Amino acid sequence: MDITVSPAGTLSYGDKTVRCALGRGGVRSDKHEGDGATPVGCYPLRRVLYRTDRLAEPETGLPVIAIGPSDGWCDAPEDARYNQPVTLPYPASAEALWREDGLYDLIVVLGHNDDPPEPGSGSAIFWHVARPDYGPTEGCVAIPRDELVEILKGCGPGDRLCISAPDADRR
């Protein structure tokens, strides 16, 4: 199954469409570390990460892993663990996955720049929980938690999240 994301901020699967938040840097085909852009392309759904203290293990055909307070994701392009999970504290720059704001209570790791990671081409591109006001992300795709839980029930190996290019990129 391909789950499609439009640069206008909608995510569609099956016959349903929901609002989504995208990167503060817009949707771009030339993604770079730190630009805040959501990258154009189709990315496999690698695995699901979730907080056991905030929700039950999600039903899905994807691999599911519980996260804890020491889980992080390396975003330092010069580091050997760039765009990979790490244990915090970590000697290079790394994003904490255990957040108080609830945005990472449920995360789908996308296969963006991971096979193998190319330094500087973007890290930690996830599909996760949206802010209540749908405020912009740092480059991820975000939807309400209940919607994400529901969509994951139908997801399995081979499924992808496909982010469309803005009209200007299609010319």
What is the three-class DSSP state of 153?
Answer: coil
Bridging pattern class, strands 41-51 and 106-110: antiparallel
pLDDT computed for residue 168 by the predictor: 54
Q: Is the pLDDT of residue 43 over 80?
A: yes
Kindly report, residue by residue over 80-116, the tens digit of the pLDDT.
Answer: 999 999 999 999 999 999 999 999 999 999 999 999 9
> In the numeric block, which tokens belong to residue 36?
């805040």
Q: Is the pLDDT of residue 65 over 60?
A: yes
Q: What is the pTM of this model?
A: 0.96
DSSP 17-66: EEE-B-BTT-EESS--TTS-PEEPEEEEEEEEEEETTTSPPPP-SS-EEE
User: Distance between CA 120 and CA 42 in Å, rounded?
Assistant: 19
What is the three-class DSSP state of 95?
Answer: strand
By the 8 A CB rule, do 127 and 142 touch?
yes
What structural domains and CATH numbers belong to the chain?
A: 2-170 (2.40.440.10)
